[in-house]
Amino acid sequence: MNNLKVWPHLAIVALVCAVAAGVGVGLWMRHEQTASAEAIPNAARIQRVEGEVALNNSEAVNAQNDQWIAATENQPFSVGDRIYTRDKSRASLAFTGRNFARLNPNTSLDVLALNDQRTQLALRDGSAVFDVGYLNSGDLFEVATPYGAVDFQQPGLYNVGIDNGQVLVSVLSGLAQVVGLGGSGQISKGELLTLVGSTAADAVLSQINGRDAGYLVDDYYGYQYPRYYDGRYRDYNTYLNDPYYFDPYRRTVSYQYANSYIPGLSDLDYYGDWQNVNGYGNCWAPRVDAGWSPYQTGYWYNDYPYGPTWVSSEPWGYAPYHYGRWAFVGDRWYWVPESVNTTPAYSPALVAFVPLAETTLAGCRLDQATCTCRTTTTQTGNLNT
């Protein structure tokens, strides 16, 4: 560790610390959320899974702490969920179309709040990289730890970890503030804060070792963008001069046609094409075989509090199945998003259930006994909620 020093800009502010500590440490220790029809939280996306990753919805009715399910790609998650990666396993999460996290092996992360202005998480064990591409004025993106809450105050790349009883916060780019029981202060780009307790005396600030920082940045972008990343950020100074080059908003055409809040937009360019369709505007069509139709490849599961939810096995299959609607025009299916300036609304699936003896799914027939979608998609209209 280079240039060790006691954190010089810790400020003890009683009221602020009391509130922030309650939000940070308190959220880490315990939380209660009650979902209702009037206030259903947003959903986020499990973007990639490498190895053994588990999901636990602790908010579901009668849920037990040992009721874990295997997490899969394109699976939604939301408030009350906990995601756990086992040894030699990692997972990439998309909270929006521009804000992401990569969980490293042996990491446990809780979702405490998730809405348009507030993302609050709790890191219980392990480490994670948080890639914050966009923060509007007044937005909160916070990670609670045992010794305080880490608030990301600017777009940037952050590494937060728990190691041998210490909390380590690296600001690879951006600006963060840590608030605990003993004080608060900012961590600037290129700095590492080590917390060994919850008082001001327990905080040590140092400069990030350039080699270590280059490894972290290179490893993250190599995992997040394996098709595009060229290894340029092994040199940390190169990254510091170009920290937002891999923000998908700046590289991906799909963000011109749909609201950047939608998770999964960054996949669409690679797997399909945009076209102006008469009567529908700009629509996206996947590059698939002739005769393809939605809701053929994947599975249904009952996701609290949303109900029957579709999880696609197609690598692009998150945004088009949970936002906007599907339309069959000419001889193919198109995904029709809401306009860029429209606030997107998450749906567990862009279909409607009809209460018949054998449940009909507007475009698919769902066998209640096996909960598998038969490939009997109609080609005469739209799929929407």
pLDDT in tens, 147-168: 989 999 999 999 999 999 899 9
In the chain, the amino acid numbered 141 is F
Task: Let me know whether 259 and 370 are in one domain.
Answer: yes
Task: Let me know whether 197 and 285 are in one domain.
Answer: no
Q: Given this model, what pLDDT does residue 128 score?
A: 98
Task: Let me know whether 341 and 205 are in one domain.
Answer: no
- pLDDT surpassing 50 at residue 36: no
Highest mean pLDDT among 171-175, 179-183, 242-246: 171-175
pLDDT in tens, 56-71: 976 554 455 557 899 9
Nearest to 351 by CA among 331, 329, 381, 372: 381
Q: Given this model, what pLDDT does residue 27 score?
A: 39
Distance CA 217, CA 159 (A): 9
Q: Report strand pairing: 99-103 vs 90-94.
A: antiparallel
Q: Given this model, what pLDDT does residue 351 score?
A: 78
Residue 17 binned pLDDT confidence (cut-offs 50, 70, 90): very low
Structural domain range at position 152? 2-222
Residue 244 domain-assigned?
Answer: no
Nearest to 351 by CA among 316, 310, 297: 310
Q: What is the dihedral of CA 209, 214, 215, 217, to 10 degrees?
A: 120
Q: Given this model, what pLDDT does residue 181 score?
A: 53
- pLDDT surpassing 70 at residue 314: yes
Q: In this predicted model, which residue has the larger pLDDT, 86 or 384? A: 86
Task: Let me know whether 218 and 264 are in one domain.
Answer: no
- pLDDT surpassing 70 at residue 193: yes
> Is 0.95 surpassed by the pTM of this model?
no
Residue ending a domain, among 199, 222, 245, is 222
- pLDDT surpassing 50 at residue 368: no
Task: Let me know whether 260 and 173 are in one domain.
Answer: no
Nearest to 311 by CA among 71, 92, 49: 71
Which CATH number belongs to the domain containing residue 150 in this structure?
2.60.120.1440
Q: Given this model, what pLDDT does residue 207 score?
A: 95
Residue 250 binned pLDDT confidence (cut-offs 50, 70, 90): confident
Tokens matching residue 10: 């810790």
Q: How far is CA 155 from CA 158, 172, 368, 384, in A?
A: 9, 11, 45, 34
Task: Let me know whether 195 and 279 are in one domain.
Answer: no
Q: Given this model, what pLDDT does residue 383 score?
A: 59
Averaged pLDDT of the chain = 82
Residue 365 domain-assigned?
Answer: yes
Residue 248 domain-assigned?
Answer: no
The total domain count for the chain is 2
